Amino acid sequence: MSSNKISLNYWRCFEQQNFSLPDHSFLLVDENGSGKTSLLSAYYSLLTGKPWPASKWKDNLQQGRDYFGIGLNKDWSVTGKISPSGRLISSMVFPEKLVFPKVITYLPSDNYFLNLPRAQKLAVLDNSLGEMFDLEYTNLLNKLDRAVRSKTLLIKNYINENIQPDNIILDKINSDLLDSTIQIWVYRANFFFQLYRNRYEYGDWINSQFKDWQIDWEITNFRGIKLNIKKIDDQFNWDRWSLIADLEKPNYLKKLLSGLDFNQLWQSEAAAGKVLFGAQRDDFFWLSRHQNATQILSRGEMRLLALYWKEIVRRNLPLGSEVIWLLDDLFNELDEIREKLFFTTVKREQDYIFATSTRNVNFDLATYNLDQLKAN
């Protein structure tokens, strides 16, 4: 990876500033509020065309401004401008035939994602699967979202206007909802299995109890009732899942919905006023010795648990991928031993790491402050 020059205009805390990023992995050390995350987030947005995770484009706009612009070298940029209607509209320009790198992020808030409400936990899971499978997975999420939105509209029209849904339209929506849900379940189950299978290799990162962990996964049945998958199939476990042939996994999951009756489901949804079935209603819990991990692990251990999740994402990226790690405020609450454990594992010659911290670390990683990266 060659050296990259980044220009920031009205982006977060920077009015107009240019930076030159090193062509090797590095740690950016500076005080809180200095602009470390602002630079990191700009690089992320240029690499992905998306705002920094858990933020919106307008969150990056400098207060009092109606425009931002960030650029990478000479032919790569992201801009945003407030429209007359008050919306911020963004656009991206990038070189022809560009192959975008795989970007893995870490935010301090990732430490607590297992404590988040269900929908936000699913967003973290789906973001990880999106990093691994790109459009292949994103298109399934979009298909699911369209089906849920369309069915929600039918339910509202029925409740508010007593408008009966057209059977052909409803059947198509139900078909899309079922198809996208089953396929999303396969991706999620495969990822949960990867987390389960590799637990012994990474157990020393966290503590001995980590080796005894399980993921409990809840899905909705055809009545819209959320159940642990083990209660639907008492023979289910992650070792058994690995033995099911890939082509048979969708059929196995579909059989869990035995007796699927969309007419009955419609009656339940019309009464509840919302869509009751679909992968958007999943939930999952990380257990160790039958206890929720969030209740027994320290904050430092939770941080390593989040990093273990990211490492499994990295291990499942396609061979030959260009991978960039963007790690924000990484080393708070990690002792020296765990710092070295993490970097000994994830530091690969072909990967590029851009990490931020408020303190220096005791291993081989080039260190800079913001002033040293400033360019004309």
Find which of 66-75, 182-191, 232-241 is predicted with most confidence, using mean pLDDT.
Answer: 182-191
User: Taking a C-beta distance cutoff of 8 angstroms, is the pair 253, 186 a contact?
Assistant: yes
User: Has domain 4-100+357-375 been given CATH number 3.40.50.300?
Assistant: yes
Instruction: Return the higher-pLDDT residue of 31 and 111.
Output: 31
Taking CA atoms, 315 is separated from 72, 320, 343, in Å, by: 28, 12, 15
Q: Domain boundaries in the chain?
A: 4-100+357-375, 114-296
pLDDT tens-digit profile of 243-252?
999 999 999 9
Are 4-100+357-375 and 114-296 equal in CATH topology?
Answer: no
- Res 305: pLDDT: 82
Instruction: Return the higher-pLDDT residue of 159 and 297.
Output: 159
β-pairing verdict for 226-228 and 213-220: antiparallel
Is-above-0.75 flag for pTM? yes
Q: Where are the beta strands (DSSP E) in the chain?
A: 4-11, 14-21, 26-29, 67-72, 76-82, 88-93, 102-106, 213-220, 226-228, 283-288, 291-292, 323-327, 352-357, 366-368, 374-375
Q: At 1, is the pLDDT very low, low, confident or very high (cuts 50, 70, 90)?
A: very low
- Res 96: pLDDT: 84
pLDDT tens-digit profile of 20-54?
999 999 999 999 999 999 999 999 999 999 899 87
User: Has domain 114-296 been given CATH number 1.20.1050.90?
Assistant: yes
- Res 143: pLDDT: 97
